[in-house]
Amino acid sequence: MSDTRDYDLIVIGAGSGGVRLARTSAALGARVAVVESRYLGGTCVNVGCVPKKLFVYGAHAGEDIEDAAGYGWQVPPDSVRFDWPTLVANKNTEIDRLNGIYGRLLESAGVTVISGTATVPDPHTVRVGDQSFSTERIVVATGSWPVIPDVPGKECILTSNEMFYLPQLPRHAVIWGGGYIAVEFAGILSGLGVETTLLYRGDRILRGFDEDLREFTQNELLKKGIDIRLGSTIVSVENAESHYQLELNDGTRMSTGLVMAATGRRALVDGLGLEELGVQLSGSGHVVVDDHFQTAVPSIFALGDVIGTPQLTPVALAQAMVLSRRLYGDGERSMDYRNIPTAVFCQPNLGTVGLTEQEAREAGYQLRIYRTDFRPMKHTLSGRDERSLMKLVVDDATDKVLGAHMVGPDAGEIIQGLAVAIQAGATKAQFDATLGIHPTSAEEFVTMREPVKS
């Protein structure tokens, strides 16, 4: 490491990946600074995973109150009132607390935090305002930002960023998109009593997930009263003072109190000056890196959402661990992008790990498919018309479980445990030899005996 420069490493972006990289590199002896223009903790802590999950809890509480009646609790509907500003204020307090924790973690690791917007005038310099810092290496961890398709009136359309600070909830909302964020926010808004319409251009929401899960989740959302319109997209939006007037691709006009786009996120590299230095961007705008997160400019690296790998916090964290060890430690770990478990926190949750049935068939496996769907025990007394789905994709030749998929309460929690088994290469026989915990939903994963198809 060079002492002639101000730092060994400057990380641009104090999100999940940037903070982890800065801390672990400092712990390995590097002199590290992190530059951040907005908030410590990045999207995940401020306008992503954390506040989203708090809103999901908030939305689900309404169902819990309704479900309590079947268990003898008398909750007169007119005594139950939801107050959105309270939820937002409590969420903000929690985010402030987490911002503070991030600051202290960086401080105690000996990382210098520089507030402001960074530019990279040369491969060993980061400029923030009128200050320039020299550094041996630069890591770009600037994350991603929501994209709104280019339609007339797009300035009226909100993204998830603004949804976390809405002053009040509308009576009716339109959500545009059919991926993670669209489906999660449809669940949140609908659960909080907002009439919700979801517009998706395809023929089934949640493209990329197992087809059975997509169909099942879509049906569950429809049962909850979410108005899902398939093959549907926004052509224009007009601000009509008290409401928004939408025109859809089939000519339909629709009036609503809020329009939110959840139509993907692009890499956030604007104004850094990377391309001028020779850093390559892909056609989709991501920073191009090799297997070791190095760009075409040897002293500049990148990780997290900005490089186009799955836009998930645990992926950015793992990349940061690999890169810090490579630059300053034993360099022994590498990224393994197989079997990334993931959950969509709609209601009920969707959780998944490993190959979908379709991916496994395309890869040429001969399969055994195990599948069950049932009414969770809780709803026998609550009377709620909600079902759960579980599915195992098994390689017939080796008996290895290639994928586990679930829609149902706590699917994320359940799939996280199964991800260990699948990463360890567990076979269906080993699932069968595992005793269940009775009575749980999760035990179904070890009691599915007969394949439903091969």
> Which residue from 11, 118, 157, 182 is in contact with ligand NDP, where contact means CB under 6 A?
182
Determine the interface stretch with ligand NDP among 33-41, 125-133, 165-173, 180-188 (rule: CB under 6 A): 180-188
Residue closer to ligand NDP by CB (options 10, 181) is 181
Binding ligand NDP (rule: CB under 6 A), the pick from 37, 112, 233, 416 is 233
Which amino acid appears at position 64 of this protein? D
* Residues numbered 44-103 forming contacts with ligand NDP, rule: CB under 6 A: none
Q: What is the DSSP string of 341-373?
A: -EEE-SSS-EEEEE--HHHHHHTT--EEEEEEE
| Contacting range for ligand NDP; rule: CB under 6 A; set: 198-206, 218-226, 333-341, 443-451 | 198-206
Cβ proximity to ligand NDP: between 256 and 263 the closer is 263
236 contacts ligand NDP (rule: CB under 6 A): no
**Closest separation in Å from C-beta 356 to ligand NDP:** 14
What's the CA gap between 336 and 353, in Å, rounded? Answer: 14
The reply to whether 181 sits near ligand NDP by the rule CB under 6 A is yes
Cα 316 from Cα 141, distance rounded (Å): 9
109 or 340: whose CB is closer to ligand NDP? Answer: 340
223 binds ligand NDP (CB under 6 A): no
Which residue number, 261 or 327, has a Cβ lying nearer to ligand NDP?
261
Binding of ligand NDP by 415 (CB under 6 A): no
Burial class (CB in 10 A: 0-12, 13-18, 19+), 406: buried
Q: Which is nearer to ligand NDP, 201 or 371 (CB)?
A: 201
Q: Are 386 and 223 in contact (CB under 8 A)?
A: yes
- Phi first, then psi: give them for residue 231, nearest 5 degrees: 60, 25
Q: Which sign, positive or negative, has the C-alpha torsion 25, 26, 32, 33?
A: positive
Residue 379 annotated in active site: no
Instruction: Tell which residue, 153, 259, 250, 147, has the closest CA to residue 198.
Output: 259
For 90-141, list the strands marked E by DSSP: 112-115, 118-122, 125-128, 131-140
Classify residue 400 by its DSSP letter. Answer: B
Dist CA 326 CA 322 (whole Å): 6
Catalytic residue among 60, 124, 379, 438: 438
Between 233 and 339, CB nearer to ligand NDP: 233
Residue 284, judged by CB atoms within 10 A of its CB (0-12, 13-18, 19+), counts as exposed
Total residues at the site for ligand NDP (CB under 6 A)? 24
221 binds ligand NDP (CB under 6 A): no
Q: Report CA-CA distances (Å) from 80 to 62, 64, 113, 166, 224.
A: 9, 12, 45, 22, 19
Contact call for residues 17 and 141 (beta carbons, < 8 A): yes
Residue 92: count other Cβ atoms within 10 Å of its Cβ: 13
179 binds ligand NDP (CB under 6 A): yes
Round to whole Å and give the CA distance between 262 and 147. Answer: 8
As measured in angstroms, the least distance from the Cβ of 302 to ligand NDP is 17
Among residues 102, 180, 365, 370, the one that binds ligand NDP under rule CB under 6 A: 180
Q: Is 201 in the site for ligand NDP (CB under 6 A)?
A: yes
Smallest separation, CB 206 to ligand NDP (Å): 8
Name which of 102, 90, 20, 12 is nearest 57 in CA terms: 90
158 binds ligand NDP (CB under 6 A): no
Quote the least distance from Cβ 22 to ligand NDP, whole Å: 22
Shortest distance (Å) from residue 179 CB to ligand NDP: 2
Looking at residues 311 to 370 of the shown chain, list those that interact with ligand NDP (rule: CB under 6 A). 311-312, 342-345
Local structure of residue 228 (DSSP, 8 states): E
Q: Site map for ligand NDP, 292-321, x if CB under 6 A?
A: ------------------xxx---------
Residues designated catalytic: 438
Contacts with ligand NDP by CB under 6 A lie at 149, 177-182, 184, 200-202, 207, 233, 262-265, 310-312, 342-345
